[in-house]
């Protein structure tokens, strides 16, 4: 789904002094946001490899939490139950073969993260504020130790509003459907996009200072090349 122009710039508007304070402790962060199946993961992974930055797929963390809750038969709509189940959960993100793998209480659900039932439930889980709190803290922790490429929905708007390196990756609805079908997945991406962009907690928006790329007719290499050009223009020393 393409975001209407009225959704642009709904990101947090923070005072410049607060933004420069937030920048002090952090390593460099490149934020890659966009709707489902827009090509974020392939682009973010390749970009991280070329920059020598760590790659974090925040969607995979929301998916791992969703898988964990489904295993425990907790209804994603039961907000207090979700909060309770996650109180002592241990989440770790490791980079293996250029992919970010998420471990939850030492279990590795990588092969289950795109199951139909996870695709169906993840948007309901990710709108729970306590879930968002866990994932956001995790990403900010990583940024204290590493330079990162982070992909998601709210990375430039909410998680790292102070980074000057923000990109919004989009593609036409047809192209996105084709890409997901080519991955052989059962995934109602239009429903997920609607849920993600209309929720109250950190909805999918285009951050006001994000650079937007329509990837419908571009290869991964072309998109990564364009991002690297922009990063140079924005002063990232490469």
Contact window for ligand CDP (CB under 6 A) among 54-62, 78-86, 87-95, 161-169: 54-62
Binding mask 30-49 for ligand CDP (x = CB under 6 A): ------xx--xx--------
Question: Closest distance between ligand CDP and the C-beta of residue 4, in Å?
Answer: 19
174 to each of 4, 52, 108, 139, 215, how far by Cα in Å? 17, 33, 32, 32, 12
Question: Closest distance between ligand CDP and the C-beta of residue 206, in Å?
Answer: 14
Contact window for ligand CDP (CB under 6 A) among 5-13, 22-30, 148-156, 220-228: 148-156
Tell me: does residue 170 bind ligand CDP (CB under 6 A).
Answer: no
Question: Closest distance between ligand CDP and the C-beta of residue 150, in Å?
Answer: 8
Tell me: does residue 154 bind ligand CDP (CB under 6 A).
Answer: yes
CA 65, chain centre distance (Å): 14
The H-or-E segment that residue 158 falls in is none
Residue 152 has φ and ψ, to the nearest 5°, of: 175, -145
With contacts defined by CB under 6 A, how many residues of the chain interact with ligand CDP?
Answer: 18
Distance separating alpha carbons of residues 89 and 104, to the nearest angstrom: 7
Distance separating alpha carbons of residues 62 and 180, to the nearest angstrom: 19
- Tokens standing for residue 32: 């890659």
Residue pair 112/43 in contact (Cβ under 8 Å)? The answer is no
- Quick one: 15 or 66, whose CB is closer to ligand CDP? 66
Question: What three-state secondary structure class fits 171?
Answer: coil
Question: Closest distance between ligand CDP and the C-beta of residue 153, in Å?
Answer: 4
- Quick one: 8 or 235, whose CB is closer to ligand CDP? 8
Residue pair 57/100 in contact (Cβ under 8 Å)? The answer is yes
Tell me: does residue 109 bind ligand CDP (CB under 6 A).
Answer: no
Among 32, 104, 122, 231, binds ligand CDP (CB under 6 A): 122
Distance separating alpha carbons of residues 82 and 157, to the nearest angstrom: 25
Report 184-223 residues binding ligand CDP (CB under 6 A).
Answer: 192, 196
Q: Which of 102, 21, 98, 106 is nearest to 54 (CA)?
A: 98
Tell me: does residue 171 bind ligand CDP (CB under 6 A).
Answer: no
Name the residues that contact ligand CDP, by CB under 6 A.
36-37, 40-41, 58-60, 62-63, 122-123, 126, 152-155, 192, 196
């Amino acid at each position: 789904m393409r975001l209407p122009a009225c959704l642009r710039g709904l990101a947090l508007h923070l005072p410049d002094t607060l933004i420069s304070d937030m920048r002090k402790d952090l390593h460099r962060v490149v934020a890659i946001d966009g709707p489902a199946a827009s090509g974020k993961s392939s682009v973010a992974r390749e970009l991280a490899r070329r920059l020598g930055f760590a790659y974090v797929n925040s969607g995979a963390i929301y998916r791992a939490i969703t898988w964990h809750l489904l295993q425990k038969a907790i209804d994603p709509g039961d907000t207090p139950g979700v909060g309770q189940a996650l109180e002592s959960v241990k989440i770790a993100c490791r980079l293996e073969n250029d992919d970010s793998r998420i471990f939850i209480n030492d279990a590795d659900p990588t092969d289950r993260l795109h199951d139909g039932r996870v695709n169906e439930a993840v948007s309901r889980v990710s709108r729970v504020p306590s879930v968002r709190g866990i994932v956001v803290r995790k990403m900010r922790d990583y940024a204290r130790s590493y330079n990162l490429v982070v992909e998601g929905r709210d990375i430039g708007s909410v998680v790292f509003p102070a980074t000057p390196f923000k990109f919004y990756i989009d593609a036409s609805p047809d192209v996105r459907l084709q890409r997901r079908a080519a991955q052989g997945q059962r995934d109602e991406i239009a429903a997920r996009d609607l849920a993600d962009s209309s929720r109250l907690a950190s909805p999918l928006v285009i951050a006001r200072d994000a650079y937007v790329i329509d990837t419908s007719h571009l290869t991964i290499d072309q998109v990564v090349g364009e991002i690297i050009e922009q990063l140079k223009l924005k002063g990232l020393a490469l």
